A = this chain, B = another copy of it.
């Protein structure tokens, strides 16, 4: 019944790190790694490889840089088949920071890119591939991509990129299942030699269903996070994904335990999930930055005024 090719990548620490400047402590990250390992999750994405020339390590947590030694402290002594992934942003990584795969605890590097930066993303991803890593490119803000430009981008990826996977990223949580179907089918039709993945945001409570929709149309790499943790509305909840997938290697129970012990208390301190201003930016297909600012203001529950401020903008 199950499709063995489906791989689950948990990006709890990486995407959740966007809320707290990547400042999760070792104990917490080890608890997540332990639970994901027991649950049979294929990959754990732990953070970004950012250049320390661009960002001051004193001002951010460890997982904005993901030094190999820090990753080793997370995984040591824990029995696991879960591979470690890191993300890099175009223009923010020093290639020389990345050691060859054989010397690193990292298995996969994913390059996040807008359609317009795809040349840079391919250059980076191929560099990581040459160092021996599994690689992927995540195409962000897909709901804003013009169809002709996306077509060109996908053709170029198929021809030039050494990546195993190309992800469709619904950055704004704006996709409904019909558009998800359209985009996944389009990607599959062009990317003959690569897998297609999905990273869905949960602004409209559609991250899980869009991920299922992508699976139905043959996406084999799916992103999820524990209890949906992630910036703004968060992501596809891992526990729901494990409840849906039929591969017997997966076990939901360690993740349930982890939510009880770590994520219920965490939710008291950090905000993410179904919150109306994020639903509004999702409905309007907008970046959540205005909603994040609203939630940090003293007007955080003024939804109507916020909505009017967005729909009233002149765009000519």
Task: Enumerate chain A interface residues (CB-CB to B < 8 A).
Answer: 176-178, 202, 204-210, 212-213, 216, 227-228, 237, 239-240, 243-244, 252-253, 256-257, 259-260, 264, 273-274, 276, 279-280, 283, 301-304, 307-308
Contact = CB atoms under 8 A, between A and B. Distances in A.
A259 B303 contact: yes
Given A256-B303, A264-B301, A276 B239 contact: yes
Given A205-B208, A208-B204, A253 B307 contact: yes
Given A253-B307, A303-B257, A274 B273 contact: yes
B301 A260 contact: yes
Nearest to A237: B205
A256 B304 contact: yes
Nearest to A273: B274
Contacts of A177: 177, 209, 212-213, 216
Contacts of A276: 227, 239, 256, 259-260
A223 B246 CA distance: 30
Nearest to A242: B283
Contacts of A303: 256-257, 259-260
B212 A308 contact: no
Q: Which of A202, A239, A276, A283 has the most CB of B within 10 A?
A: A276
